[in-house]
C-alpha cells in the first residue's frame, strides 16, 4: 500500500474569497425601483449560519409596506410592463440572465455566506440554473401565442411570491422569470434567514434597467408573507415552503379568485433494484440526500433497497460517507455545509432522537464539527420501519432512512406510502423496469439512474401534500396566464 493510500487524502484548504462580496450595514425594502425605509420601523439581523456572525440589518415589512409594494407592482403593470412589446420584455430578461452570469462568483459567495450551502453547489448549481431560468423564459416572452395556440394567453396582473431559504436565488429565478415573461409584475418575499441574494438581485434589476416596480422585494418573516398573499390587489399567489404554511395560504386565498400554485414538502423514495450499477447508485444516494445538507424538498430521504443487495449497498454507503467533508461553506473542498438556522437544526435533532428511540440503528461517520454555527453530520438510519417518524416526516436535513423490499410491487407500495408526492428515484439497468416504476410512482418527478437533476425546460411539482401546479418548462408559464 502506498503512503497516500494509508494516510488518505489531505486537502489543502481552498477558500473562496469573502472579499468578492460587499455588504451594506443595513438594507431597506425594494419598492418601485428604489430601496425605501420600512414604514413598520422594524429591523432584524441576518447572520452567517456557519459562524453565527451578523452580516447585515434587514427591514421587516409590515402590512403598510406590503401594500406599498403591491401598489408599485400594480402601477408598473398598468403603466409600463403590460404596455411594452413582448420582445422588449424578453430583452430585459436576457439582460438579467447575462448579468447573473457575469456576477455569478459574487452571488455564489453571498448565497453560501447567508445560507450555509457549500460554495461548490452555489457556484455550480444555484447560479448557473438561476441564469438558465431567465434565459429560458426570455425565449418564451414573445412566443406565448405559439406556446398556447388558439388560447389568447394574457397576463394576470400582480403576482405575490413567497420563497424558502434552501435555494434562495434559484427559487427567486423559478418564480420571477416565468411571471415576467408572461407579462406580470411581481412582489416577492424571500425567507427571513436568507434575504441577501434577493437584495443583491435588486441591484441586478437596476443594472438591467428593468422598469421600476416590475419586481419589488419585501423582506421579513412569515408575517410579511401572510400579509402579501392576503392582499386584495394580488392576482396570483406562488408559494414554495412547508405543507403547513401552504395549507394556511390555500385557506386564505380560497374564494378570492386568485390563482394559486403550491410547491410544498416531500419524502421521496430512492429505489435501488438488485440489478442496479451499485457504485453509481451509491453516488446517486449520496447526491440525493446530502446535496444542500438534505435541505431539499425533493431529497431522496427514504432509500428503498432490494433486500438481496441491502448489506452491500449500506456498506458502500458508509464507506462513502466517511469521505464526505463537512465544514466551511466557502471552502471549495466542502461537500456538506452548515444547517440554515438554529430552528432547522433543532428540528433535525428532534427527529433523529425520535428515530433512535423508535429503534432504528444510527450511523454517522467520524467527523469534527466546527464549534460555532449550526452543524449536523451526514447520518444513515438502518432497521427503519415504515411507521417510524423518520420514515414518514420530512426531516429536511442530512439524514437518510434505509428500508428494504423484496419485490418490485412492494417497492412501489412502500414508495407511495406517504402523504407526499414530489419526487422519486429508480436505479436499475432495465429500461422496461424504469417505465413500469415511473407509471406507478405517485410523484411529480421520477429520476432514473440519476437524482436531483434540474433543467429549466422540465416541469417540476407535486401531488397530494406536496402541492399542485408546475414550475419550469411550458407548464411553468401557464399559472401566470389567463387563457381565453
Ligand atoms: P415555511 O413554510 O415557514 O417558510 C417558507 C416561506 O414562507 C418563508 O419565506 C416564510 O417566511 C414564509 N411564511 C411563513 N409563514 C407564513 C405565512 N403564514 N404566510 C405566508 N408566508 C409565510 O418553512 P420553514 O422555513 O419554517 O421550514 C419549516 C419546514 O418546512 C422545513 O423543516 C421543511 O420541512 C419545510 N420546507 C420545505 C421547503 C420546500 O422547498 N418545499 C422549503 C423550506 C422548508 P420566513 O421564513 O421569513 O418566516
Return the bridge partners of 236, or none.
159, 259
Burial 191-213 (b: 16+ CB within 10 A, else e): bbbbbbbbbbbbebbeebebbbb
* DSSP structure class, residue 160: E
Q: How far is CA 433 from CA 114, 275, 305, 404, in A?
A: 42, 10, 15, 18
pLDDT in tens, the chain (484 residues): 455 555 666 788 899 999 999 999 999 999 999 999 999 999 999 999 999 999 999 999 999 999 999 999 999 999 999 999 999 999 999 999 999 999 999 999 999 999 999 999 999 999 999 999 999 999 999 999 999 999 999 999 999 999 999 999 999 999 999 999 999 999 999 999 999 999 999 999 999 999 999 999 999 999 999 999 999 999 999 999 999 999 999 999 999 999 999 999 999 999 999 999 999 999 999 999 999 999 999 999 999 999 999 999 999 999 999 999 999 999 999 999 999 999 999 999 999 999 999 999 999 999 899 999 999 999 999 999 999 999 999 999 999 999 999 999 999 999 999 999 999 999 999 999 999 999 999 999 999 999 999 999 999 999 999 999 999 999 999 999 999 8
For residue 36, give the C-alpha cell.
425605501
Identify the residue whose C-alpha is closest to ligand 1 atom 19: 226
Measured in Å, residue 391 CA sits from the centre of ligand 1 at 21
Coil, strand or helix at 166: coil
Coil, strand or helix at 41: coil
Q: Output the ligand 1 site: residues, CB below 6 A.
A: 162-166, 189, 191-192, 221-222, 225-226, 229, 240-242, 245, 248-249, 263-265, 297, 344, 347, 394, 396
Q: Which of 263, 465, 471, 478 is the catalytic position?
A: 263
Cα distance between residue 148 and residue 135, in whole Å: 20
Measured in Å, residue 480 CA sits from the centre of ligand 1 at 22
Residues 6+ apart with CB under 8 A from 43: 26, 57, 58, 59, 60
Residues 6+ apart with CB under 8 A from 252: 226, 229, 230
Cα distance between residue 431 and residue 291, in whole Å: 26
Amino acid at each position: 500500500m502506498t503512503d497516500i493510500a494509508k494516510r488518505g487524502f489531505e486537502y489543502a484548504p481552498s477558500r473562496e474569497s469573502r472579499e468578492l462580496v460587499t455588504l451594506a450595514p443595513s438594507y431597506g425594502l425594494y419598492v418601485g425601483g428604489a430601496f425605501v425605509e420600512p414604514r413598520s420601523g422594524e429591523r432584524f439581523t441576518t447572520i452567517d449560519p456557519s459562524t453565527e456572525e451578523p452580516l447585515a440589518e434587514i427591514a421587516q415589512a409590515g402590512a403598510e409596506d406590503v401594500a406599498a409594494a403591491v401598489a408599485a407592482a400594480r402601477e408598473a403593470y398598468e403603466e409600463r410592463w403590460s404596455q411594452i412589446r413582448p420582445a422588449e420584455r424578453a430583452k430585459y430578461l436576457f439582460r438579467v440572465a447575462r448579468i447573473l452570469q457575469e456576477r455569478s462568483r459574487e452571488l455564489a459567495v453571498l448565497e453560501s455566506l447567508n445560507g450555509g450551502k457549500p460554495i461548490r453547489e452555489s457556484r455550480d448549481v444555484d447560479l448557473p440554473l438561476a441564469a438558465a431560468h431567465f434565459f429560458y423564459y426570455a425565449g418564451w416572452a414573445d412566443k406565448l401565442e405559439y406556446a398556447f395556440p388558439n388560447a389568447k394567453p394574457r397576463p394576470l396582473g400582480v403576482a405575490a411570491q413567497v420563497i424558502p431559504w434552501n435555494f434562495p436565488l434559484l427559487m427567486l429565478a423559478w418564480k420571477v422569470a416565468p411571471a415576467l415573461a408572461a407579462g406580470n409584475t411581481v412582489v416577492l418575499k424571500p425567507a427571513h434567514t436568507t434575504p441577501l441574494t434577493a437584495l443583491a438581485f435588486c441591484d441586478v434589476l437596476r443594472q438591467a434597467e428593468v422598469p421600476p416596480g416590475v419586481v419589488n422585494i419585501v423582506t421579513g418573516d412569515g408575517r410579511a408573507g401572510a400579509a402579501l398573499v392576503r392582499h386584495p390587489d394580488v392576482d396570483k399567489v406562488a408559494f414554495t415552503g412547508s405543507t403547513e404554511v401552504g395549507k394556511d395560504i390555500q385557506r386564505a386565498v380560497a374564494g378570492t379568485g386568485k390563482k394559486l400554485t403550491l410547491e410544498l414538502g416531500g419524502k421521496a423514495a430512492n429505489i435501488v433494484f438488485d440489478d442496479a450499477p451499485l457504485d453509481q447508485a451509491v453516488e446517486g444516494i449520496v447526491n440525493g440526500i446530502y446535496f444542500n445538507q438534505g435541505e431539499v424538498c425533493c431529497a431522496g430521504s427514504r432509500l428503498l433497497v432490494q433486500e438481496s443487495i441491502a448489506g452491500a449497498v449500506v456498506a458502500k454507503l458508509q464507506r462513502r460517507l466517511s469521505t464526505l467533508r463537512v465544514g466551511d461553506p466557502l471552502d471549495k473542498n466542502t461537500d456538506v455545509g452548515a444547517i440554515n438556522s438554529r430552528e432547522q437544526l433543532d428540528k433535525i435533532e428532534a427527529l433523529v432522537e425520535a428515530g433512535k428511540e423508535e429503534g432504528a440503528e444510527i450511523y454517522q461517520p467520524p467527523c469534527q464539527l466546527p464549534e460555532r454555527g449550526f452543524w449536523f453530520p451526514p447520518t444513515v438510519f438502518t432497521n427503519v420501519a415504515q411507521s417510524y417518524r423518520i420514515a414518514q416526516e420530512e426531516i429536511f436535513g442530512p439524514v437518510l432512512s434505509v428500508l428494504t423490499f423484496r419485490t418490485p410491487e412492494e417497492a412501489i407500495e412502500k414508495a407511495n406510502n406517504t402523504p407526499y408526492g414530489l419526487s422519486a428515484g429508480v436505479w436499475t439497468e432495465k429500461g422496461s423496469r424504469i417505465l413500469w416504476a415511473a407509471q406507478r410512482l405517485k410523484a411529480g418527478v421520477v429520476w432514473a439512474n440519476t437524482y436531483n437533476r434540474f433543467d429549466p425546460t422540465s416541469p417540476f411539482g407535486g401531488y397530494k401534500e406536496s402541492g399542485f401546479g408546475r414550475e419550469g418548462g411550458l407548464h411553468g408559464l401557464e399559472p401566470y396566464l389567463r387563457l381565453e
